[in-house]
Amino acid sequence: MNKKRVTRLAEYFFTVWVIVTLNFLLPRAMPGDPFLYLSSDVGEEVIFSEEQRQYYLAYYGLDRPVGGQYLSYMSELLRGNLGHSLYYNEPVSHIILRRLAWTFFLVIAAVILSTFIGTVLGSISAWYREKWLDKFLFFNLIIMSEIPAFLLGLVLLFSFAAGLGLFPLSGAMTHFAGYENWWEKVLDILHHAFLPVIALTIARTGGMYLLSRNSVITVLEKDYLRTARAKGLSEKRVIFRHVLRNAMLPIVTRVFLSLGSLVGGAILVENVFAYPGLGHLMREAVMVRDYPLIQGIFLVVTICVLLANFIADFIYGKLDPRVNDYSETYGG
């Protein structure tokens, strides 16, 4: 562990602390009496009952001094206690754990698919630069890259699920289905996840395509590629060991950096397909003003994204030998 890694780690801890503290401050910074708040939704005005109001006041310990509140909040958090949901009458962490896997599933599937497809198409495009195939891919993917995932999801939902009936309209599994064997269950899950994953993937592939195309083109013009060719290496080795190995670097960075926006997309897409992940849960929580649950989800999602980025930093350091050496000269 060198100095650079340590400072990086410290930065992540600091970020986590900022988010955790923000999470603590939010309900306390609410304008007016927070728990008299009215729902936004037109038509349905939810007014907190006195009972609920008292519950929240006690729950957040708003009657105690702020310092003490903060300490107990932090210690509870360290013990893994994210609070208690009033609506579900269950610890927040339990609810989140139940739903987390579905979101993970969507996000990871979309990341893998979009990165793979985007990189392959981007490399092909770069290789056949300015040929018709490149132009064709470029034009189509550039349009795809600009449509937000949930708008795409709506199209998919109404055409393939509602219109053609090829896919289920909502959920992650068929309710009360008695599966004969395990792969029938897997198939059912895949059947349900197909459209949401496709929506997320399509929305992301364009960006990955553009990035990898650009990246490969840049690498193709580098001096070291000429060196590699001069050495009489096989085409395979030149492409994989020299071109892709270098072109990969910005792609890896982007995969993780854009995770935040992908999570945002996933939240919306889950709501389009009523997919029982964290995004859908979050909306439910917002609708019923289940503050501890909202906060819990927020905390889990942000920390997951941060964690993923920390891993990315680590991987990147392994992939690019230059990173750790330049820290001294360029100050990171």
Partner 1 sequence: MAGVLKLLLKPIKTIKKFSLLGKTSFIVILLILLVAIFAPCISIHPYNVSSGPPLSPPGGEHPLGTDELGIDLWAQICYGARVSLLVGFLTALLAALGGGLIGIVSGYLGGWTDKILMRIIDIMIVLPDLPVMIVMAAFFGPSLLNIILVLALFSWVFPARIVRSQVLMLKEQGYIKSAETYGAGAWYLIHRHFLPEVFPLVAVNMVRLTGRAVVAEAGLSFLGLGDPTSKSWGLIMHHAINFAGIYFTPFWKWWLLYPWLALTLMVISLAFISRELEKMADPRMGR
Partner 2 sequence: MTADGKYLLEIKDLSVTYRAVHSPVKAVDGVSLQLRKGESLGIIGESGCGKSTLALGIMGLIKQGSIEGEIYYKDQKLTGLPEKKLKKYRWKDIALVFQNSLEVLNPVLNIKEQIGEPLKTHYNLSPPEIDQKVVKLLEMVGLNPKWRHYYPHQLSGGMRQRVLLAMALSCDPELLIVDEPTTSLDPLSKNEIVRLLQKLQKKLGFALVLISHDLGVIKKLTSRVMAMYCGQVIEAGITSEVLKNPMHCYTRGLLNSSPNLFKYKDLWGIDGEPSSGNSVKGCAFYPRCCQGEESCSQTRPLLKYVALERMVACHKGGIETFLRAEGIRKTYKLKNMEIEAVKDVSLEIRSGEVVALVGESGSGKSTLAHILAGVLPAEAGRVFYRNKKVEGRWATKMIGGMQIIFQDPFSATSHRMKVLDVVKEPLDIIKRGSKQEREEEAVKALQTVQLPVSPEFLDRYCHGLSGGQRQRLAIARALVTKPKLLIADEVTSMLDPSTQANLLRELKGLQNRHGFALLYITHDLHLARKVADKVYVMYKGEIVENGVSFEIFESPKHIYTKQLLKDVLSVSRDAPGS
Judged by the rule CB under 8 A, the positions of this chain that interact with partner 1 are 11, 15, 18-19, 26-27, 29-31, 34, 37, 40-42, 142-143, 145-148, 150-151, 154-155, 158, 161-162, 169, 214, 217, 257, 259-261, 263-265, 267-268, 271-272, 282-283, 286-287, 289, 291, 294-295, 297-298, 301-302, 305-306, 309, 331
Q: Which does 191 bind (CB under 5 to 8 A by kind): partner 1, partner 2, none?
A: none
Choose between 41 and 184: whose C-beta lies nearer to partner 1: 41
* Closest distance to partner 1 from the beta carbon of 232 (Å): 30
* Closest distance to partner 1 from the beta carbon of 264 (Å): 3
Q: Which does 318 bind (CB under 5 to 8 A by kind): partner 1, partner 2, none?
A: none
Block residue for tokens 């195939």: 133
* Closest distance to partner 1 from the beta carbon of 295 (Å): 7
Q: Are 276 and 174 in contact (CB under 8 A)?
A: no
Q: Which does 325 bind (CB under 5 to 8 A by kind): partner 2, partner 1, none?
A: partner 2
Choose between 157 and 248: whose C-beta lies nearer to partner 2: 248
Q: Beta-strand (E) ranges in 248-304?
A: none
* Closest distance to partner 1 from the beta carbon of 124 (Å): 16
Q: Which does 65 bind (CB under 5 to 8 A by kind): partner 1, partner 2, none?
A: none
Question: d(Cα 289, Cα 284) in Å, to the nearest integer?
Answer: 8
For residue 85, the cross-strand partners are 90
Residues of the shown chain interacting with partner 2 in the complex, contacts defined by CB under 8 A: 222-224, 226-234, 237, 241-242, 245-246, 249, 319-322, 325-326
Q: What's the CA angle centered on 317, arms 311 and 319, to 5 degrees?
A: 100
* Closest distance to partner 2 from the beta carbon of 326 (Å): 8
Maximum CA pair distance of the chain?
Answer: 80
Block residue for tokens 């932090």: 74
For residue 84, the cross-strand partners are 91
Question: d(Cα 116, Cα 146) in Å, to the nearest integer?
Answer: 19
* Closest distance to partner 1 from the beta carbon of 46 (Å): 12
DSSP state of 37: P
Block residue for tokens 């349905």: 44
Choose between 220 and 233: whose C-beta lies nearer to partner 1: 220
**φ/ψ of residue 120, rounded to 5:** -60, -50
Block residue for tokens 């105690």: 64
Q: Which does 4 bind (CB under 5 to 8 A by kind): partner 1, partner 2, none?
A: none
DSSP state of 244: I
HSE, side-chain direction, 13 A CA sphere, residue 61: 13
Question: d(Cα 99, Cα 53) in Å, to the nearest integer?
Answer: 27
Of 177, 224, 172, nearest to 196 by C-alpha is: 172
* Closest distance to partner 2 from the beta carbon of 319 (Å): 7
Block residue for tokens 């509602």: 162
Q: Which does 135 bind (CB under 5 to 8 A by kind): partner 2, partner 1, none?
A: none
Q: Which does 264 bind (CB under 5 to 8 A by kind): partner 2, partner 1, none?
A: partner 1
Choose between 144 and 233: whose C-beta lies nearer to partner 1: 144
Q: Are 165 and 233 in contact (CB under 8 A)?
A: no
